[in-house]
Structure 1
Amino acid sequence: MTTEAVTRRHAYAEAGRAFRDLVSQVGPDGWRRRALGEWTVLDLVGHTSRALATVETALSRPATRVELADPVAYYRAASAIDQGEVAERGRDAGRALGGDPAGAVAELCDRVLVLVARTPDDTGVTTRLGGMRLIDYLPTRTFELAVHTRDLATALALPAPDTPLALHESLRLAADLAFAAGRGEQALLALTGRHPLPPGFSVL
C-alpha cells in the first residue's frame, strides 16, 4: 500500500467519523431547521450520508473495467447530473434514515469504515458514473464529507470539526478540479491574495 493510499484511507475515515459525531449533536428540534439552499438539516444529513452509503453500494457491485481513472474524472462526469435530481436524492436519503437519523448515520459509518478497511486498494467498484478503483473513489467521498460536514456545522451554529487530513485531501482535489476546468490561474491568484474570485466561482 502506497503512502498516498494510506493517506486517502485515513482521510476518508477521519471525515466519516467527524460527520457521524457532528450528526449526533443534532437536537430533536434541529432536523427541520433550514440548512443549505432548499435542504433542511435532515435533507443535508441524508445527502451527506450518501458519501458513506454509496461506497457500500459500489463495493457490492464489483467492476471489471476502470472507466474513471481518478477523482477529477469522476467529478467531470458528474457535472452532467441534473441538480434537481441531486436535491431530491438528498431528501429521499434523509427520509430513509428513519426515526433515529443520528443512530442510523452512526451505524452506517461504522459499518462502511470496517468494510473499506478490509478491502484492497485496487478493488474495482461500480459507481453510478462508471467503474473505478476503490482507492480512487474514496477521495470523492472524502470531499463530499468534508464540504457538507462544514455546511452542517454552519447550519447548527457549531464549530467545524478538526479534520486536517480530510481538509488537505479536499483542498488538493479542489485545486485539481480548478486546473482541469481551466480555472487554475484564477484559483492560484485568489489563494495568494492577488485577485478575488468572481461571484459564483466554483470548481464543481
Structure 2
Amino acid sequence: MSRITGAYLDAADVAVDLLNHPALAARWKEPSALDEWSVGGLAGHLAWQVFFLPAVLDEPAPTQPVIGLDDYYARVRWIDAGLHDEANARIRRGGEDAGAEGVRALADRAADTVRALRTRLPAEPDRAVRLPVWGDYALSLDDFLTTRLMELVVHTDDLAFSAGIPTPELPGPAVEATVGLLTRLALRRHGQSAVLRALSRAERAPAGITAF
C-alpha cells in the first residue's frame, strides 16, 4: 500500500467519525462557515471525497493522457471561478444533494464505503483514473488520491468549525501531504517571494497566501 493510500484512508476514517458527531445533526440545515453552503451540504461534499473512489475504480482504465497535479490544477475550472460560477454551483449542488440523505444515512453510507475501500485500495495498482466531468485527461490513482485527501483534510476542518466543535486530530502524513499540495498551489497563485515571506518573515509577510 502506498503512503498516499494509507494517508487517504486514515483521513477518511477521521471524516467518518466527524460525520457521526451529534453536533452535526443539530445544525444540519444551518449555514456553514463557507458562503452558500449549509452544514448538511458541506457534510455531503466531504462524504463525496469518499464516494468518488469506487465510482472511478469501477470504470475501465481511461485512454486519455495522464497529466500531473500541477497541470490538473491549472485546468480545473472551479479553482479560479467565482462563488456563483456554474462550476462551483455544480459542486455545491452535489454536496447538498448528498446531504439531503440526512445525517444518519450519509454517515452510514460513508462508513460502509471506507470499510470497503480499506480492502480494495491496497490491492489496486497505481493505474489511471478519470471523472466524467474532466476534459481530455486522466490522473494516476495516487495523484487522484492526493486531490481527494486534500479535500478531506480541508473540509474536515471546515465542517468541524461549522458545527462548533474542535477540529479532530488528523494523521500526520495526511496533513503533511495536504500542506505540501496547498503550498504548491499557493506558489502558483502568489509567487515565490510571497510564500517564502509568509512562512519565514513575520515582519514582511503578505496579508495572505491562500491556495484558492
When normalised by structure 2's length, the TM-score is: 0.82
Aligned mate of 1:180, from 173, 188, 194: 188
Please say if residues 149 and 160 of structure 1, whose CA atoms lie closer than 8 Å, have aligned partners that are also in contact.
yes
In terms of fraction of residues, the more helix-rich structure is: 2
Give structure 1 regions of 4+ aligned residues with deviation exceeding 4 angstroms: 96-99
Residues 13/179 of structure 1: CA separation in 2 closer, same or farther (3 Å cut): same
Identity within the alignment, %: 25
* CA offsets 1:11-31 (integer angstroms, 9 cap, x no match): 101110110011111343231
Please say if residues 185 and 211 of structure 2, whose CA atoms lie closer than 8 Å, have aligned partners that are also in contact.
yes
SS at match of 1:76: helix
State the distance in 2 between where 1:70 and 1:183 align: 20
Q: Which runs of 5+ in 1 are unaligned?
A: none
In terms of fraction of residues, the more strand-rich structure is: 1
Q: Give the superposition deviation at 1:96.
A: 4.4
Please name the residue that 2:48 is paired with: 50
Residues 41/69 of structure 1: CA separation in 2 closer, same or farther (3 Å cut): same
Please name the residue that 1:103 is paired with: 108
Please say if residues 62 and 126 of structure 1, whose CA atoms lie closer than 8 Å, have aligned partners that are also in contact.
no
Query: Aligned pair 1:126/2:130, yes or no?
Result: yes
Q: Give the superposition deviation at 1:100.
A: 2.3
Residue identity in the other structure for 1:176? R
Query: Aligned pair 1:112/2:117, yes or no?
Result: yes
Q: Which runs of 5+ in 2 are unaligned?
A: 82-86
Question: What's the C-alpha RMSD, in Å, of the aligned pairs?
Answer: 2.2
When normalised by structure 1's length, the TM-score is: 0.85
Aligned mate of 2:92, from 76, 87, 90: 87
Q: Give the superposition deviation at 1:196.
A: 3.6
Number of matched pairs: 198
Please say if residues 20 and 104 of structure 2, whose CA atoms lie closer than 8 Å, have aligned partners that are also in contact.
no
Please say if residues 97 and 104 of structure 1, whose CA atoms lie closer than 8 Å, have aligned partners that are also in contact.
no
* CA offsets 1:123-174 (integer angstroms, 9 cap, x no match): 1212232312111111000000000000011112222122211110000001
